[in-house]
Chain A
């Protein structure tokens, strides 16, 4: 339960940070989360889902304000992609950023903690 809440918090923070600061906020938030939580096999995919989920929320918000479907098909075509592929790319991009950032930060944080523990011992 606690981990679900934490995950939802991360998702929300990623969404808000993206809206306030821009796309690069995704790896920053994910990295902070990776540093703050113990590295497990689930770290990367939880971060990925949070990144995707956050952008899906923002996409939904944008879609409530205007013709996002038409935009997907027109801009997708600029990149030789069908509209749905442009949507998928939009959700995949934060997922990859968040997963890799959380994983790397988790590993670095774990290594630092291990070194600190050894030094203290």
Chain B
């Protein structure tokens, strides 16, 4: 080789080496550092080596008071046997971190608005919004006010010790795959992250901004119409607290015509949307919701109380829930699901009591217009003529590698965060941001010995307000909507109030004695499905507005009323029941409209054909059903034609409806055949009435469905070929997700599937409270967060079929048969 050739080769080698080292160690565009991904020993590949549990392991958690035995059953559920509750939650922290460390990191970072540090600039907008809400700040304020020696604080600390013991013992091979894909490392766990998780759930379940939705409607059709379209009381009453009637009551009042736009509302809306982020249009077709119900012994086949828990949430992989069993002899024996981050069972059972929750959906957010001393750099705000100092907090938002992305100054009044956009200065009061001792309440539920005990324990629960259903082995069943429900001085909670006047502040909260509540009901069963919890005829105090249509509540009440010998198997079947009260209500209106029109003259042939097809329908959303698709298309058309007045700009082709009133409001409008809302203002030469809109909707629906899915005889109308569940990985990566899952159920079903299919039953549980508790459960996903573990997706198939697994609920390790013990983990204190 000549010197020249050697030199050329050396330069070439240097360039190639520099390039490959660069892509190995640094991010290039969207690619993570490839060295730690491709390394076959400790890179992404190592996820394969750590996918399964060892048969037997002995590890150390230095802070343990004594040895803890953790037995994983064949469903991957850890049964934790400890001698103190602190040790039990230390072990729980350890095993949850082992299975779900990345999810835990995403959770706390979401609350704190620190996702950008993991994923970069793409999350900057999200982080800013979350920090502006002040969720982490409120958790921190709650935490410092807690007694450091209280059991909940001790357990939050013990849980953190368990998580950190796992992190400390991590070798390079054990780092979860997602960290490799992001080029990140796990961070330490802090006890306060437990509170962060509950704040995050509060945000998930109560940050609905109905006030803004109402502004949006008022801006277009005026106040009076907005009141009718987002009513304070549901037009169909089947409340959670039984009102003496086993059937729903229809309170269909008049719906006033669209009025003059409220220009002030329009101005507010644009400012608030800039501050809190764009509102979703809100559509009946995307309605989701949770269910729970309980049956008293006199109406069950075996004479034992039965309870069903069926909370519906955003579906992710890994699941939002982690299933676990905590045993401390003489003190605690609780089984169920917990959020990875929370040192207790959130929904589940102990030896005496079982419980579950649905979201109450009360109005717990209010906005106040504030007067500031300076519009750009304010230091104080005026209340009752006095200037009060604003609390300020400077937030540094950092990206990957600690790079500073943005600096935000946040301001807080005594009500909560101040949102400043377009010259409007609005503060927000929200129960989730108050000092909230939820952890205490949840801890007590785990130890309750009776329904009464459980209700006492839950009294201090603040947010997110929940409809807690509970049953015990003595046969008592009860339900209560529990949480802080603000009392408003004007009895209304959906207007932006003058912050300069302290008399506009909340005047307190509903006392516990007035919470919607029922115990040992005469009807022998109780149910909730996010409907208005209390009949306004019983208590008309403002609790919220624009309630979910009670279709699911109607269905489950009908099923329970019709069955006087309920079994665990029928409870399971009800959870995915294909019957649909919404279809039962609306289909006759479509059919009768066609008949009436036929009696009066010629009818559109397509509408007649569609009516014939719907008339044949059993109104069930089974997988093989071939008519539900036509009904859904007809309902979508009906909404589009009826609510044309709510289009953002009717003159633009790509118009968007700013809001879709609840189905129960549409049901009320059907009682008024010539109400002006039926007129489609886009057809200037016609004045439509109810029947003409129903017929046109049917005809158009048939055209659409045939165009998209073919002729009804061609087999393309099968429901499970059209509506799917889609469970995405936390990072949205398709290859780590479970997509296009075929399900039974649709909008308004007890197993609702709607929209993109990303919401659904997050946990299903049936508990029979006999002499020995028997229970069955499932959730979509699996216990492991490792995408190649056999425990990552192992429950999906049964979940899609509506099947449940029998739960193993042993009192001791000896009660677990060897054939069902998958792994044993001995955790020991440091010697």
CA distance A86 to B110 in the complex (A): 31
Query: Contact between B42 and A75 (Cβ–Cβ < 8 Å)?
Result: no
Chain A window 78-121, contacts with chain B (Cβ cutoff 8 Å), 1 for yes, 0 for no: 11000000000110010011011101100110110000000000
Closest residue of chain A to B10 (Cβ to Cβ) is A107
Given the known inter-chain contacts A22-B35, A75-B177, A104-B13, please indicate yes or no for A90 contacting B40, CB distance below 8 A.
yes
Name B14-54 residues within 8 Å CB distance of A. 14, 16-17, 20-21, 24-25, 31, 34-52
Query: Contact between B34 and A104 (Cβ–Cβ < 8 Å)?
Result: no
Query: Contact between B51 and A74 (Cβ–Cβ < 8 Å)?
Result: no
Query: Contact between A19 and B6 (Cβ–Cβ < 8 Å)?
Result: no
Closest residue of chain A to B43 (Cβ to Cβ) is A23
Residue in B16, B48, B733, B735 whose CB lies within 8 Å of A66: B48
Query: Contact between A71 and B13 (Cβ–Cβ < 8 Å)?
Result: no
CA distance A59 to B14 in the complex (A): 27
Given the known inter-chain contacts A18-B39, A22-B42, please indicate yes or no for A71 contacting B172, CB distance below 8 A.
no
Query: Contact between A97 and B49 (Cβ–Cβ < 8 Å)?
Result: no
| B686: Cβ under 8 A from any A Cβ | no
CA distance A65 to B173 in the complex (A): 12
CA distance A27 to B14 in the complex (A): 12
CA distance A2 to B44 in the complex (A): 36
CA distance A107 to B1 in the complex (A): 11
| A58: Cβ under 8 A from any B Cβ | yes
Given the known inter-chain contacts A74-B788, A78-B181, please indicate yes or no for A66 contacting B50, CB distance below 8 A.
yes
Query: Contact between A97 and B44 (Cβ–Cβ < 8 Å)?
Result: no
| A33: Cβ under 8 A from any B Cβ | no
| A68: Cβ under 8 A from any B Cβ | yes
Chain B residues whose CB sits within 8 angstroms of the CB of A62 once the complex forms: 40-41, 45-46, 48-49
CA distance A81 to B24 in the complex (A): 18
| B734: Cβ under 8 A from any A Cβ | yes
Chain B residues whose CB sits within 8 angstroms of the CB of A73 once the complex forms: 735
Closest residue of chain A to B21 (Cβ to Cβ) is A27
Chain A residues whose CB sits within 8 angstroms of the CB of B42 once the complex forms: 19, 22
Closest residue of chain A to B39 (Cβ to Cβ) is A23
Query: Contact between A63 and B17 (Cβ–Cβ < 8 Å)?
Result: no
Query: Contact between B10 and A23 (Cβ–Cβ < 8 Å)?
Result: no
| B260: Cβ under 8 A from any A Cβ | no
Given the known inter-chain contacts A58-B41, A107-B9, A108-B10, please indicate yes or no for A22 contacting B172, CB distance below 8 A.
yes
Name A17-70 residues within 8 Å CB distance of B. 18-19, 22-24, 27, 39, 41, 44, 55, 58-59, 61-63, 65-68, 70
Query: Contact between A110 and B40 (Cβ–Cβ < 8 Å)?
Result: no
| B123: Cβ under 8 A from any A Cβ | no
Chain B residues whose CB sits within 8 angstroms of the CB of A8 once the complex forms: none
CA distance A75 to B48 in the complex (A): 11
Most buried by A among B1, B25, B44, B733: B44
CA distance A61 to B787 in the complex (A): 20
Query: Contact between B9 and A70 (Cβ–Cβ < 8 Å)?
Result: no
CA distance A39 to B6 in the complex (A): 9
Chain B residues whose CB sits within 8 angstroms of the CB of A107 once the complex forms: 6-7, 9-10, 13
| B736: Cβ under 8 A from any A Cβ | yes
Given the known inter-chain contacts A19-B42, A96-B16, please indicate yes or no for A24 contacting B49, CB distance below 8 A.
no
Chain A residues whose CB sits within 8 angstroms of the CB of B787 once the complex forms: 71, 74
CA distance A62 to B50 in the complex (A): 9
Closest residue of chain B to A30 (Cβ to Cβ) is B17
Given the known inter-chain contacts A44-B13, A74-B735, A74-B787, please indicate yes or no for A24 contacting B24, CB distance below 8 A.
yes
| A77: Cβ under 8 A from any B Cβ | yes
Chain A residues whose CB sits within 8 angstroms of the CB of B13 once the complex forms: 44, 99-101, 103-104, 107
Closest residue of chain B to A97 (Cβ to Cβ) is B20
Chain A residues whose CB sits within 8 angstroms of the CB of B10 once the complex forms: 103-104, 107-108, 111
Query: Contact between A74 and B736 (Cβ–Cβ < 8 Å)?
Result: yes
CA distance A55 to B24 in the complex (A): 15
Residue in B14, B38, B788 whose CB lies within 8 Å of A23: B38
Given the known inter-chain contacts A22-B39, A23-B36, A55-B40, please indicate yes or no for A70 contacting B788, CB distance below 8 A.
yes
Task: List 5 A-B pairs, minimum CB-CB distance, nearest first.
Answer: A77-B735, A107-B10, A66-B48, A100-B17, A103-B13
> Hey, which bits of chain B sit against chain A, CB under 8 A?
1, 6-7, 9-10, 12-14, 16-17, 20-21, 24-25, 31, 34-52, 172, 177, 181, 733-736, 787-788
Q: What are 7 sample pairs from A and B whose C-beta atoms fall under 8 A apart?
A: A59-B40, A68-B48, A71-B48, A97-B20, A103-B9, A103-B12, A111-B10
4 more A-B residue pairs beyond the given contacts A66-B788, A100-B16, with a C-beta to C-beta distance below 8 A: A44-B13, A62-B46, A66-B48, A74-B735
